[in-house]
Structure 1
Amino acid sequence: MMRFLFPFILLIFVNGVDSQESELALVMKEMAFSYKQARKAQNTEDLLIHLQEIENALIKSKEIGFKRKQAESTKGIDKVLTLVKEIQKNANDLSLAQEELVKIDQLRKQYHEIHEPSFWQLLFGN
């Protein structure tokens, strides 16, 4: 029975994913990679490059938009943008700037919670 049910559930899940979500997911993955690179940066120039990549990804994600909770998601993006700009201004102190990057991760966790789909949303879509 489970053998027949699993492909059906998978088919429903795959059909529920649209191109907007896929594009947004790619942008978020790029941003996550840039964030990790910024955390590992050995000098200010590398840090600034990765911060600019994060900023570009944030702007692109706002342009793509969010399917659910648009206003709250945009508010989170704006908070991260503000934080990135502050870090860019203080990038000459590399260790302090990298400590400040932790705040970006905290915001990411906070705002990702609003997009975590429930079991029922995974099963039946939005």
Structure 2
Amino acid sequence: MQKLVFLLTCCVMLLCSVASYAEGQSSDLNAVMKKIGFAYKQIMQAPDIPSAQQGIDEMRGWLSKSREFNFKPSVANESLQGLEKVARELDAVEAALAQQDLDKAKQVAANIDGLRKEYHKLHEPPGFWELLFGQFK
């Protein structure tokens, strides 16, 4: 009986540690993605070119930070490609700002929201079994 209790205790501890690790990685990435979203809103709501440029600069910093995360191996390449696409869109936004065209910059920046929707599908929250067994693949 004591062996069974010990075995069950070990299993529960293992489950908790796997879930805790996955949750920690996910919550850090979520926090960075929310900051990217806030920078995006700054660009879209910018009343002038310097404000839009400030949003771009912040977004680039958070994009750089997001590249440091360990994405799930099954979606890592696609995730990094998505981040690169966002960076290219920011280049196009900056080009419009260099031409002093804030409206065009905002139109180009709207493409970023489409990328967000496309690539967030890759990062649906993991299910219980994936948390339990997915880390060991």
Q: What is the TM-score with the length of structure 1 in the denominator?
A: 0.80
Whether 1:54 aligns to 2:59 is yes
Please say if residues 92 and 108 of structure 2, whose CA atoms lie closer than 8 Å, have aligned partners that are also in contact: no
* Displacement over 4 Å in runs of 4+: 11-14
- How many matched pairs? 113
The residue identity in structure 2 corresponding to 1:51 is: I
Q: CA RMSD in A?
A: 2.0
Answer with 65-74 or 97-106: which moved more. 65-74
Larger relative CO (CA 8 A, sep 6+): 1 or 2?
Answer: 1
Q: Which of 53, 59, 69 is the aligned partner of 1:64? A: 69
Written as runs of structure 1 = structure 2, the 5 A alignment for 1:57-96 is: 57-68=62-73, 69-91=75-97, 92-96=100-104
Query: What is the alpha-carbon distance in structure 2 between the residues aligned to residue 67 and residue 20 of structure 1?
Result: 10
Q: CA deviation at 1:115?
A: 1.1
Q: What is the TM-score with the length of structure 2 in the denominator?
A: 0.74
Query: What is the alpha-carbon distance in structure 2 between the residues aligned to residue 109 and residue 65 of structure 1?
Result: 20
For structure 2, list consecutive stretches of 5 or more residues without a partner in the other structure: 1-14
Of structures 1 and 2, the larger Rg is shown by: 2
What residue number does 1:3 align with? none
What residue number does 2:108 align with? 100
Q: Percent identity?
A: 33
Q: CA deviation at 1:14?
A: 5.7
Query: What is the alpha-carbon distance in structure 2 between the residues aligned to residue 65 and residue 14 of structure 1?
Result: 16
For structure 1, list consecutive stretches of 5 or more residues without a partner in the other structure: 1-10
Written as runs of structure 1 = structure 2, the 5 A alignment for 1:1-126 is: 15=20, 17-68=22-73, 69-91=75-97, 92-117=100-125, 121-124=126-129, 125=131, 126=134
Query: What is the alpha-carbon distance in structure 2 between the residues aligned to residue 57 and residue 65 of structure 1?
Result: 15
